[in-house]
Amino acid sequence: MSLLSALSNRYAIKQFSDKKVDEEKIKSITEAARLAPSAFGLQPYRLIVITDRELLSKLAGAAFNQKQLPTCSHLFVFAAETSITEGTVDAYFARTYEQTDNEPGSLNGYADYIKGWVSSQPAESLAESAKHQAFISLGLLIGEASLQGVDSCPMTGFNPAGFDEILGLAEKGLTATVICAVGYREEGEATPQKVRYASEDFVINGNKLA
Ligand SMILES: Cc1cc2nc3c(=O)[nH]c(=O)nc-3n(C[C@H](O)[C@H](O)[C@H](O)COP(=O)(O)O)c2cc1C
C-alpha cells in the first residue's frame, strides 16, 4: 500500500476495539519514529510506550478522560528533553563514534560548532525546538502505523504536568509533549469523510509571492 492511500484511509480514532497490535508492527512503528530526522541529529526526545491498563486509566485522568487512553492497544508518549545542553551534543558524538567509521575526536571542530549554537540560544527556544522535533517523529509514527494497517490518534488534549508527574519524567530531564494512542477501530466502522484544504488552496506557488 502506498503512503498516500494509507493516509486516506486513516482517521483519528476516538475509541478502540479490544484487538491488540502485535509486537512486530509496534517495532516497525517505533522504528519509523526513531529514524526521524532532527536538528544536527541530536534527537532531543524519547518515545515512551505504555500498555499497562492501570497506568493507562491513571493517565486518562490527566487527559480529560479521553476514551482513547483506556481502550488503546499501546499508548506512545513523546517526551522532549527539557533542555538541549553541551551534554546532549556530547551524547550525540559518543553515538556517532560508536556507529560510524569516524575516529573518536575527529569531529571535535564540528562538535564545538554545535555547542556554540546551543550556547547562543535562549533556554526556552531550545526547549521549544525539542518539542517541535518530537512532532516530526510523531508524523512518521502515524504514517508507518497507517501503512501497517494500525489505527492511531495523536493527542495534545492532556495535561503535560500531570503526565510528567505520573511518569516521573522531570527527574529524567523530559517532559510529555504529544501522545499517540494506537490500536484498531471497531470492525465495520465507517471511515469518516476527510476535511482538508483543497490542494490548490494548500499548496501555494511561492514564485508568485515575491
Ligand atoms: C497535534 C494534534 C493534537 C490532537 N489532539 C487530539 C485530542 O486531544 N483528542 C482527539 O480526539 N483528537 C486529537 N487530534 C486529532 C484531530 O482532531 C484529527 O486529526 C483532525 O480532526 C483530523 O481528522 P483525521 O485525523 O481523522 O483526518 C489531534 C491531532 C493532532 C495532529
How does pLDDT run across 173-209, given as a tens digit for each residue? Answer: 999 999 999 999 988 888 889 999 999 999 999 998 9
Ligand 1, atom 13, lies closest to the CA of 155
Q: What local confidence, expressed as pLDDT, does residue 15 receive? A: 94
How many Cβ atoms sit within 10 Å of the Cβ of residue 192?
8
Average pLDDT, whole number, for the chain?
A: 96
Is 152 within 8 Å of 182 (Cβ atoms)?
yes
**Ligand 1 centroid, distance to 12 Cα (angstroms):** 6
The whole-angstrom separation of Cα 200 and Cα 203 is 6
The whole-angstrom separation of Cα 127 and Cα 121 is 10
The whole-angstrom separation of Cα 178 and Cα 76 is 9
My answer on whether 102 and 27 are in the same domain is no
Task: State the residue for C-alpha cell 509533549.
Answer: 177
My answer on whether 138 and 150 are in the same domain is yes
Task: State the residue for C-alpha cell 471511515.
Answer: 191
How does pLDDT run across 61-81, given as a tens digit for each residue? Answer: 999 999 999 999 999 999 999
My answer on whether 185 and 94 are in the same domain is no
My answer on whether 22 and 100 are in the same domain is no
Q: What local confidence, expressed as pLDDT, does residue 36 receive? A: 98
Q: What local confidence, expressed as pLDDT, does residue 44 receive? A: 96
My answer on whether 114 and 187 are in the same domain is no
The domain total for the chain is 2
**Which SS3 state, helix, strand or coil, does residue 84 take?**
coil
My answer on whether 114 and 37 are in the same domain is no
Whether 140 lines ligand 1, by a CB cut-off of 6 Å, is no
**Ligand 1 centroid, distance to 180 Cα (angstroms):** 10
Whether 78 lines ligand 1, by a CB cut-off of 6 Å, is no
Full domain range(s) for residue 105: 90-120
What is the average pLDDT across 117-146? 97
Q: What local confidence, expressed as pLDDT, does residue 191 receive? A: 81
**Which SS3 state, helix, strand or coil, does residue 46 take?**
strand
**Ligand 1 centroid, distance to 62 Cα (angstroms):** 17
